[in-house]
């Protein structure tokens, strides 16, 4: 192992924060939040902004067949598998400015530190912004990273449609054309990184409650997404007697009550969320003939997710106001435990910044949940105020974000020296 480069001494906190604010302006809403839905114009603008940073840093910008954007800092041994660090730039519909983006900007700070230090290293370093981590516009999430890691096929991903019927594939073609026009090089095939690191906001209350600016994340809980359809019969709201109705709303309403009851049989670690609910024909005086809703189910123990999956499938087969129910799984990702050796390197880096930092299992999923299935992977968290996220009130403190980014720089330094 060679001497580390003391890269952390080259972290320019002011420049880092200027980048955080530059990113936050892309897709900014008047209400104070941001909206950068996967592959929309604001999301593409954020990627183009990242590509623009490559040249001055002596890096090369690439994009792949899923629109993942990479900045590569060459090493003296270019054939070595790169150390990959990254996160995502897309957001929820009415989001804060730090979920994902903080991680991408912190990586930029790593490249700036390497550049300012005139660092020589054998292994290439790559920064990546993954496509469609959130899954808010096109379900399921983590499209770019799951394809790159080999856990999902491109065909299935591009077939997804948004609520307006726009296919992922069409939005992707538009994005790839913009990335190509930017001068970034096209690199079709994924590769197997030497290791993957992700710094992300915690999106929970633990670190803030401890006054801790950074910690190691040891794994991510499991997550299953369902799409449920309740098919009834439209009819006149004023003339149709109760006994003659097949009311999709009432069927969905009762079914949701039963699903929730099944979920409540599990421990308080379970997370059961219905985030989308739509009715057709969506008219005040017509009985709904179709209800569609989603379920987001999470737990650290795969056995619990499996038990509830069976219970949900059984409930879907029962009669709900004479309607027909289909319950489909749009995403099922098992929990991951991150790589022990990588965690050790991260722990040492975090301890240099904050000796008494805790270790956390992430309640939110991240691109790292897929990368962990193709290379040694681990994460760092930094706090957000009151743990609020997926909301315009999402907030981070500059001083804490700089400490967390310095821990990331130390980890990269340590891994490049090993
Ligand atoms: O849903 C999640 O856990 C992530 O924020 N996309
Ligand atoms: Mn995120
Ligand atoms: Mn998110």
The predicted pLDDT at position 1 comes to 58
Shortest-distance Cα residue to atom 6 of ligand 1: 134
The predicted pLDDT at position 122 comes to 95
CA distance 244 to 1: 77
Out of 36, 142, 364, mutate this one to test ligand 1's pocket (max ligand atoms within 8 Å of CB): namely 364
CA distances from 29 to 37, 118, 138, 349, 391 (A): 13, 39, 21, 36, 12
Residues present in the chain in total = 418
CA of 415 to the centre of ligand 3 (A): 27
pLDDT in tens, 97-124: 999 999 889 999 999 999 999 999 999 9
Q: Model's pTM, two decimal places?
A: 0.95
Name the token pair of 285: 């005086």
The predicted pLDDT at position 31 comes to 85
CA of 118 to the centre of ligand 3 (A): 35
Ligand 1 interacting residues, C-beta cut-off 6 A: 133-134, 141, 364-365
Q: Which ligand is nearest to the CA of 273?
A: 1
CA of 90 to the centre of ligand 2 (A): 8
The predicted pLDDT at position 117 comes to 94
Which among 137, 168, 290 has a CA at the least distance from the CA of 228? 290
Q: Which atom of ligand 1 is nearest to the CA of 142?
A: 6
The predicted pLDDT at position 4 comes to 75
pLDDT in tens, 48-62: 999 999 999 999 999
Which residue has 């799984």 as its token pair?
A: 329
CA of 5 to the centre of ligand 1 (A): 35
If one counts every other C-beta atom within 10 angstroms of the C-beta of residue 307, the result is 15
The predicted pLDDT at position 200 comes to 98
Torsion-angle region of residue 387: left (phi > 0), alpha (psi -120 to 50) or beta?
Answer: left
For the chain (length 418 residues), average pLDDT per consecutive 10? 82 96 96 95 98 97 97 97 97 95 92 95 97 97 98 96 97 98 93 98 96 98 98 98 98 98 97 98 98 98 98 97 97 97 96 96 98 98 96 96 97 94
Which among 105, 67, 99 has a CA at the least distance from the CA of 86? 105
Q: Which ligand is nearest to the CA of 199?
A: 2
CA of 364 to the centre of ligand 1 (A): 5
Q: Which ligand is nearest to the CA of 91?
A: 3
CA distance 210 to 76: 42
């Amino acid at each position: 192992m060679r001497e580390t480069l003391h890269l952390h001494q080259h972290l320019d906190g002011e420049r880092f924060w200027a980048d955080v604010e530059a990113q936050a302006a892309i897709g900014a809403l008047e209400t104070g939040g941001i909206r950068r839905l996967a592959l929309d114009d604001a999301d593409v603008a954020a990627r183009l902004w990242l590509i623009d940073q490559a040249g001055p840093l002596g890096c090369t910008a690439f994009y792949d067949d899923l629109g993942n954007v990479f900045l590569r800092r060459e090493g003296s041994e270019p054939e070595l598998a790169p150390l990959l660090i990254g996160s995502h730039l897309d957001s929820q519909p009415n989001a804060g400015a730090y979920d994902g983006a903080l991680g991408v900007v912190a990586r930029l700070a790593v490249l700036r530190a390497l550049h300012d230090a005139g660092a020589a290293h054998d292994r290439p370093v790559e920064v990546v912004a993954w496509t469609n981590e959130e899954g808010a516009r096109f379900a399921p999430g983590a499209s770019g990273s799951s394809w790159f890691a080999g856990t999902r096929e491109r065909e299935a991903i591009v077939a997804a449609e948004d609520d307006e019927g726009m296919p992922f594939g069409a939005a992707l073609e538009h994005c790839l054309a913009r990335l190509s026009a930017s001068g970034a090089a096209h690199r079709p095939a994924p590769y197997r990184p030497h290791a993957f690191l992700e710094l992300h906001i915690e999106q929970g209350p633990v670190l803030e409650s401890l006054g801790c600016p950074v910690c190691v994340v040891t794994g991510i809980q499991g997550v299953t997404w369902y799409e449920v359809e309740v098919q009834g019969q439209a009819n006149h709201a004023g003339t149709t007697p109760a006994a003659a109705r097949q009311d999709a709303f009432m069927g969905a309403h009762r079914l949701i009550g039963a699903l929730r009851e099944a979920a409540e049989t599990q421990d308080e670690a379970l997370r059961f969320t219905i985030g989308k609910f739509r009715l057709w024909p969506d008219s005040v005086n017509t009985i709904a003939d179709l209800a569609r809703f989603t379920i987001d189910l999470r737990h650290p123990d795969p056995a619990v997710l499996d038990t509830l999956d069976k219970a949900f499938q059984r409930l879907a087969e029962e009669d709900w106001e004479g309607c027909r129910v289909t319950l489909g799984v749009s995403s099922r990702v098992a929990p991951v435990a991150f790589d022990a050796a990588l965690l050790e390197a991260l722990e040492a880096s975090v301890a240099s910044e904050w000796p008494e930092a805790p270790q956390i299992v992430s309640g939110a999923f991240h691109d790292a949940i897929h990368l962990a299935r193709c290379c040694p992977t681990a994460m760092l968290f930094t706090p957000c105020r009151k743990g609020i996220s997926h909301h315009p009130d999402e907030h981070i403190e500059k001083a804490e974000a700089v400490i967390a980014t310095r821990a990331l720089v130390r980890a990269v330094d340590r891994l490049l020296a090993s």
